A and B are shown apart, each in its own frame.
Chain A
Amino acid sequence: MTVTASTESTEPVATARHDGDPARVRWLIFARDRGIVVLWVLLLAGFGLWARPYFATVDNAILIANAAALTAIFAAGIAVGIICGALDLSIPGTAAMAGCVCGWLMTHDMPVWVGLLAGLAVGVVVGLVNGLIALRGFNPIIVTIGTLSVLSGLAATLAGGYTIPGLLDLEFMGTRRYLGVPAPVWIVALLFVVGTVFLTRTRDGIRMMAVGGNAEAVRRSGVHSDRYKVLGFVISGFCAALGGLVTAALVTEANPAANPGIIFNALTAVALAGVALSGGRGSLPRVLVGALILGTISNGLTIKGIQPYWATTLTGALLLASLGLEKWVSTTVSRRLVATAAASAHTGTR
């Protein structure tokens, strides 16, 4: 009697179950994967009622999106780094450097596009350097702290220690609106659509996530996992540079001082989105929602005239609560699955 024969003849029920999970498990997975969206919707509804009629308007929605845009760009960089297995702390330095390079070129009579391309190239180069150093077996956190210092020093040197003002030509990607929506929001939308498609639909993106999860497994499959580690740093650096350029465009000046605060803001959004620091899992749309949640909270509380410290407090509390939820869901799921494993592990055997 062979294995397949028994599957086909005696276990039609089991066969039907092949493609589904127990309903409760599916619900838990939904809570884990979409919980942050539910949370955001609840927040929106809550503020919509509480801060009537000022909160739930199109104008305010655009305000929130615009306020969340910068956090979202940096969060994308952090998230890609973490998903690929490394926390990139050089992001503020890369952002400052990109802004200063762009500003310096523009004040030295270069066309705007040259400045922008050079700024983005800074991000890519920093990512390459980070990645290649980290590949030598050094701890990526220390490596990127090192490049953070190097970059902020270089940016200050380039800018002569002062901000580079008067970058009015960057206004087109700063405060200008297209179809009523500010430019940074468009940039974020484009970045996240491209990033999400890359990570979930393309070979290189999927391999990159897999490398973050278990580089050894990918290596044993005959894939050069090192290449994808470096790619993660490069994308992270690119996002950082983009964020730096948008920052410069918003305030029409390039500030050489790296602002470490953006890391913590972005990390909060990333952690809210349930991106595991151990790497290999996470999704960009959720990171976007994480950034939007931060924006929503500070916006709603501002409308109600509550001191901004409370926004920070509430955000922190939410973060801790989301950690708890994550833990609870994953333990419950694994317990459930162990309970049902006996059944499902055998659907193929006699």
Chain B
Amino acid sequence: MSETPALELRDIDMHYGYVRALDGIDVAVRQGEVLGLLGDNGAGKSTLLKVMSGAHQPTSGTILVRGAPVVFHSPSDSTRAGIEMVYQDLALVDAQDIATNLNIGREILRRGPLGWLGFVDHKAQRKRSAAELDRLGVRTAAMTRPVEMLSGGQRQVVALARAASRVIGGVPGPPGEASRAGLAGGVPGPPGEASRAGLAGGVLLLDEPTAALGYEQTRQVQALIRRMAENGVACVLVTHNLPLAIDVCDRIVVLNRGRKVADVATSATDNDQLVGWITGARASMFA
């Protein structure tokens, strides 16, 4: 796997008037890596995520996507660069079914004259959505089920899958192939078919993806995030949920009052250390 990070932020400053929301932040996330952003309320996690998604423009600093410097003026700029944000409020169309929600904005049109008139190939769309959900291992309900009739966990899965499928690319790959690759072993070991084919390289930004979920549903979303990382997606996860971060993240960055105070591999740290950094009781790694 290449060492160029999928997304890198260098020396990001962000001022709101006299308030320094972010102060010289350096963060990088590699393909297939899940990066956790921890911190207390007001530490700057969400601001940093919004800088990554293009919703906020930093006061100074550089953003690099796969090594190339970019400037995001709006969220659509970052979307074009392969960065997708999963919003806390899900942003699904309740009255429409799962397949429509997953396909909106990238519909499959029918072949021939009907396609020229803008007719949608519902069957192909349902098939592609089913394949995408299968590949993520989270096919939860009939593709024709309206989103309003899903439970909270299922909705979250659909929202995640929608972002993921855009990041990974619309190419479903043979569903059998994908699940077989998953069967080989849970550890991301050799890069999967997808990343070698160059489909991966996208970045997924997740803002409290499990905030509204129960225990079992949280575990499901957790498995989904891991699986997307296995597919070569770089994930940035903002959360308050420490056990979740420890379970799902490869690396954890802790922010405190706009400064980065820790950047460690999850395996090299533990709950107490992280709590220390979050509360400020523990000295910064970079002080």
Binding site for B on A (CB under 8 A): 1-5, 7-8, 18-21, 25, 201-204, 206-207, 209-210, 213-214, 216-218, 220-223, 276, 280-281, 333-334, 337-338, 341-342, 344-350
> Given B100, B120, B142, B227, which contacts A19 in the complex, CB threshold below 8 Å?
B142
Q: Are A206 and B79 closer than 8 Å at their CB atoms?
A: no
In the assembled complex, the Cα of A347 lies from the Cα of B150 at a distance in Å of 13
Q: Which residues of B contact A (CB under 8 A)?
A: 75-76, 79, 87, 91-96, 100-101, 104-107, 109, 117-120, 122, 133-134, 137-143, 145, 149-151, 153-154, 157, 162, 179, 182-183, 185-186, 216-217, 219-220, 223, 227
CB distance from B72 to the nearest CB of A (A): 15
In the complex, which of the residues A202, A207, A341 contacts B151, with contact meaning CB atoms closer than 8 Å? A341
Which residue of B109, B185, B220 is within 8 Å of A348 (Cβ)? Answer: B220
Tell me whether A223 and B104 are in contact in the complex, defined as CB-CB below 8 angstroms, given that A2-B183, A20-B142 are known contacts.
Answer: yes
Residues B92 and A2 in contact, CB atoms below 8 Å apart: no
From residue A132, how far is it (CB to closest CB) to chain B in Å? 22
B185's nearest neighbour on chain A, judged by CB, is: A2
- Given A1-B186, A213-B95, A214-B91, A348-B100 contact (CB < 8 Å): no
**Is the pair B220, A209 in contact by a Cβ cutoff of 8 Å?**
no
Instruction: Report the Cα distance A93→B202, complex, angstroms.
Output: 52
Q: In the assembly, what is the distance between CA of A7 and CA of B227, in Å?
A: 14
CB-CB under 8 A from B87, the residues of chain A are 220
CA of A218 to CA of B101 in the docked complex: distance in angstroms?
9
Q: How far is the CA of A3 from the CA of B230 in the complex (A)?
A: 12
Are A206 and B149 in contact, CB atoms less than 8 angstroms apart?
no
Task: Classify the interface of chain A: helix, strand, loop or mixed.
Answer: helix
Q: What are 12 of the A-B contact pairs (CB < 8 Å)?
A: A3-B138, A7-B139, A18-B139, A18-B142, A202-B117, A209-B96, A217-B93, A333-B149, A337-B149, A338-B151, A344-B151, A349-B216
**A334 partner residues in chain B, CB cutoff 8 A:** 149
Contact residues in A for B100 (Cβ distance below 8 Å): 206, 210
Chain A residues within an 8 Å CB radius of B107: 203, 206
* A-side contacts of B219, CB under 8 Å: 349
What's the minimum C-beta distance from B140 to chain A, rounded to whole angstroms? 6
Q: Which residue of B lies closest to A5 (CB)?
A: B183
Known: A2-B182, A4-B179, A221-B104. A210 touches B93 (CB 8 A): yes
